[in-house]
Structure 1
Amino acid sequence: MIRTGQQYKDSIRDGRRVWINGEIVKDVTLHPMFKPLVDIRARIYDMQHDPKTAPVMCYKDELGNSSAIGLKLPFTKEDWHAKRASTEAVLNDVGGIVTRVGDETIGEMWSLFDGQDVLNEVNPQFSENIRRHIDKAVREDPFHVSANTDPKGDRSKRPQDQDPDMLLHVVKETDAGIIVRGAKYETAAAYSNQAFTKPTIANWGNAELSDYAVGFVCDLGSPNLKFICRTGFSGRAPAADYPLSNKFDEVDTLVIFDNVLIPWENVLFYRHTKAATFIRSTLHRYSAFAFVQRNLKLADMMIGAALFNARQTGLDKQQAVQEKLAQLACYREGINAHLTAAIATAQKSPGGLMMPNQSLLYTGRVLACSQLHHMMHIARELCGGQICVTPDSASFAHPETGPWLEKFYTINDQWQADDRRKLLAFARDLLNSDYAGHRLTFQLFAQSPPFAHLASVYNNFDWDETLRVVHKSAGLSANVPGGAEAVRQAAE
């Protein structure tokens, strides 16, 4: 039921066509820019078998089989506490942040589970397909990722009025399934097993039926797929100088669908803009929780790096420094409060699942993402300018320059030069490096752009309660639109 790390590695040695830096990748599990994340994902699988970590990683199904907690459909608040603990265990074990490893993306399919009535309007078979695929994910434990964004082209035009491949679309129906063309950006696609592929935020035109309104589960070992990856950060500089870049870079991929066959049993909806609109509006109903939880861990890392730097130089006693540390703490606890409250006040979904309180979850995401760059700047300020001027590890090891660096970077008996260098290298990679800039942009756009974050808040906040309060306090008449109705509903 649960795979080992080696079984995962064997599963992605399937002859897929992967390019990076202009070269074809012979084995994605061994290439230096993919291997660190492949090894981390393999470790997550092995944690499910390790007696020390298996209790927090797995649960027993009704047949007594072990399955991954991250893939389990959530029916209770306890399920969400277990998921949160499982993700925390992973991040603590690997010593950093990884986002696209399955628990954050499988939740997107749960939103379709809630929308089975919408799918049934199109074809009852599609509703059956989503139930089967969710069950299959629990049983077979694949590395599941998500595909949203297309190249898009000229956004002032409809997809029908430009190169049709700018948005993924169906070009042909066959007895075996649909044939699709186009491209999708997918983080981790080059080293994962399957992707939930669905429409981007786009204008499908006025027609109810559209070849662009298609969603499916894609086997990433399928023929006619091509993976063109951005340059990775791993291996570009010594790991001693860039410890995060070399271990935690999740490589993003432009996946080319060059007339790829999607079997009918993998099609979740097709030629129905209502289904496409539904999935876009509810896509992060569950997955936003695991996404925001990563921001909480990032806040911990920023606070730790800043606090160590302040304490080792004795600046933590200054009020100005304490105030900036308090700002970081407020940011961290704000995220923590939203996640905790979202579980405590969880709501039943239309499909009978337990979903985190939607207003609290989405407002927590806005807080985490919109304030991240401010918090990174505060952490930079607290770490000081040495994170951008400190020489590399090779200079510390050199027989001629090493003694000088030992002299100037040793602070006291507790903080010798090597530990000081390691801390500054960590802070630089966390806050100042190419990798740090990439993570900042990724956190801002990974689930959706900022305007969509705010749209989710607008669509899930309880506006009626605010109207009721003002209607009563201001003594408004019963014929004020919305007010009287809100009062009546509150009374009931």
Structure 2
Amino acid sequence: MKYMETTLRDIVGSENNVYLRSGNSYRESLRDGRRVWFEGEYLEDITSHPKFSGTVDMICRYFDAHQSGPLADILTEKRENGTVSSAAYMIPRNTEDLRRRGQVINAVVDMTHGTMGRGPDFMPTMLLGMYGSRELYIKSNPELGSNVERYYEWARQNNPIMTLAFVDPQGDRTLPAEEREYLRVVDRTESGIVVSGAKVVATLSPFAEEIIVHTLYRKDLEKDNAISCAIPVNTKGVTIVCREGWLTPGKEIEHPLSSRVDEIDAMIVFDRVFVPYERVFYVGDTEIPKYYSTTALWGHWHVMARITRRYEFIAGAASLIPKVIGTEKIPQVRDSVAETLRCLETCRAFLRAAEENYGIMGGVAHADDNIITTGRMYSVEQYPKMMNILREISGQGLIMRFPDKAFDDESFGTVLKKAINAQNYSGREKTRIFNYVWDLCSDSFASRLEMFEVQNAQSVPKNRQLWFDNYSKEELTALEEKVCRIVDVPTPSF
């Protein structure tokens, strides 16, 4: 196929119809000349940088786990045609398939200890949404729209790490669109388009191999701003400008979460970047962005499944803390712990109900959108409350944490051990538990996680508005009729 031969490089190829890659192949792929700016310098090799290497190592483990170990059967899928590939790309047809795919989400969350909002299996889910709604793209432009299915199949066979670039920079809203740094088409040729501008919150982009560009609808959206395409990270003119790093390498005991993985959010600057038409999914169509929530159905389900799994870590910590400090019989503490469990079970119920009431689009099963959206709103509304519960029930435990070396000091180590020990844990063990809780709810790493959860799929007020706007008018009318019949008045027609 010309498209595959000329525009998409094979990363792994196929051996005996097995489309899996190793961690080493991923690591080597990052040494591709990409431009990554981080804390004042351009990084020649992110794999060796102390604030990036932990995340690189985690993704390498993710790929290696496909081929051996206890997760191999969960992370891989054998299709009817005999090919074996990552289960992140499986096409669900029913509830059972959605839950099978959900096992992959859970496995990745567990591998990252719940600290990644955009794990390596997220973007395959977003691609699945594009594939399921491919008729939207084909209707806009049959030639460009057909690229969606081709790209999905290429990604399934090659398993690239991808980042999603769809958010516009938060700039001066009083300026007209043409004066802001929105990504736009600045030139066209017979073989492709040239784009310039910026996209932000491109999480995981320093570690990615492909950038998937989307456009969110806005009232001042112009045709040249309406773009969806796939761009290799090392394309000429692409620069990844990273936010401050919050990884604390070498402090695995004091910071058991923030010392391991930082997925890094970034602004991607495009300076006259050429995109061949074979990598463009649509351009110049201001209607398709209105349906972003449709193409993101599968991504929103992934978000709900992931945060539900993360709540298991939160509820586990909440249950453990009182047993460490001896407050487990205090009624107020018990109620706080119970609240974290109620949150977890409610999220699980949303997820189960959405998967059971699945719909079909483009031959692909998707979780019920209304239930998932309601569940996502609930989950992010609860997140700050859950963080506050962890802080409240911890008491001084979160503040009085000491470096591990302090317990070995000859002058005060013995006193320290006795002073802060617990009924079932030594002072050192107690401190390690609270180090975990600190990373989970209180430091800058935790604050970023909380902000990401609350803001990553638009703000809660915006989601509430969209949810209400999209609520079934037939259902709403039926609810109104119940009341109107009781008081014998007509149902409103406005």
The TM-score normalised by the length of structure 1 is: 0.91
Quick check: 1:38–1:191 contact (8 Å CA) kept in 2? yes
The answer to whether 1:374 aligns with 2:388 is: no
The answer to whether 1:151 aligns with 2:169 is: yes
CA positional deviation for 1:69: 1.2
- Does the residue aligned with 1:247 lie in a helix, a strand or coil? coil
CA positional deviation for 1:144: 1.9
CA positional deviation for 1:135: 1.1
**Equivalent residue for 2:32?**
14
CA displacement 1:390-415 (0-9 Å, x = unmatched): 22223233333322211112223x31
- Does the residue aligned with 1:239 lie in a helix, a strand or coil? coil
Q: 1:419 to 1:199 in 2, by over 3 A?
A: same
The answer to whether 1:132 aligns with 2:150 is: yes
Quick check: 1:204–1:210 contact (8 Å CA) kept in 2? no
Quick check: 1:376–1:431 contact (8 Å CA) kept in 2? yes
Structure 1 stretch displaced more, 32-41 or 464-473: 464-473
**Equivalent residue for 1:169?**
184
Equivalent position to 2:420, from 395, 398, 409: 409
CA positional deviation for 1:466: 4.1
**Equivalent residue for 1:188?**
204
**Equivalent residue for 2:141?**
123
**Equivalent residue for 1:247?**
260
**Equivalent residue for 1:365?**
376
- Does the residue aligned with 1:190 lie in a helix, a strand or coil? helix
**Equivalent residue for 2:14?**
none
**Equivalent residue for 2:236?**
223
For structure 2, list consecutive stretches of 5 or more residues without a partner in the other structure: 1-18
**Equivalent residue for 1:353?**
364
CA positional deviation for 1:83: 1.3
Paired letter, 2:186: V
Please give the alpha-carbon distance, in whole angstroms, between the structure 1 residues aligned to 2:410 and 2:271.
Answer: 56
CA displacement 1:131-179 (0-9 Å, x = unmatched): 111111111111122111222422233312x24xx10011001123111
**Equivalent residue for 1:490?**
none
Structure 1 stretch displaced more, 438-447 or 389-398: 389-398
CA positional deviation for 1:355: 0.9
What count of residue pairs does the alignment treat as equivalent?
A: 474
Matches within 5 A, 1:76-95: 76-95=94-113
CA positional deviation for 1:472: 4.2
Paired letter, 1:173: R
The answer to whether 1:318 aligns with 2:336 is: no
Paired letter, 1:252: D
The TM-score normalised by the length of structure 2 is: 0.91
Q: 1:377 to 1:394 in 2, by over 3 A?
A: same
Please give the alpha-carbon distance, in whole angstroms, between the structure 2 residues aligned to 1:459 and 1:450.
Answer: 14
**Equivalent residue for 2:214?**
198
Please give the alpha-carbon distance, in whole angstroms, between the structure 1 residues aligned to 2:351 and 2:143.
Answer: 35
Please give the alpha-carbon distance, in whole angstroms, between the structure 1 residues aligned to 2:31 and 2:210.
Answer: 14
Please give the alpha-carbon distance, in whole angstroms, between the structure 1 residues aligned to 2:369 and 2:388.
Answer: 30
Q: 1:393 to 1:255 in 2, by over 3 A?
A: same
Quick check: 2:133–2:294 contact (8 Å CA) kept in 1? no
Quick check: 1:242–1:429 contact (8 Å CA) kept in 2? yes
Matches within 5 A, 1:222-301: 222-235=235-248, 238-279=251-292, 281-301=293-313
Quick check: 1:101–1:145 contact (8 Å CA) kept in 2? no
CA positional deviation for 1:265: 0.6
**Equivalent residue for 1:488?**
none
**Equivalent residue for 2:4?**
none
CA positional deviation for 1:300: 1.8
The answer to whether 1:421 aligns with 2:431 is: yes
The answer to whether 1:450 aligns with 2:450 is: no
Please give the alpha-carbon distance, in whole angstroms, between the structure 1 residues aligned to 2:111 and 2:287.
Answer: 42
CA positional deviation for 1:283: 4.2
Please give the alpha-carbon distance, in whole angstroms, between the structure 1 residues aligned to 2:421 and 2:353.
Answer: 44
CA positional deviation for 1:51: 4.1
Quick check: 1:366–1:453 contact (8 Å CA) kept in 2? yes
CA positional deviation for 1:216: 0.5
CA positional deviation for 1:304: 1.8
Equivalent position to 2:395, from 384, 403, 417: 384
Please give the alpha-carbon distance, in whole angstroms, between the structure 2 residues aligned to 1:118 and 1:201.
Answer: 15
The answer to whether 1:210 aligns with 2:226 is: no
Quick check: 1:467–1:482 contact (8 Å CA) kept in 2? no
For structure 1, list consecutive stretches of 5 or more residues without a partner in the other structure: 484-492
Quick check: 1:303–1:329 contact (8 Å CA) kept in 2? yes
Please give the alpha-carbon distance, in whole angstroms, between the structure 1 residues aligned to 2:278 and 2:348.
Answer: 40
Q: CA RMSD in A?
A: 2.1
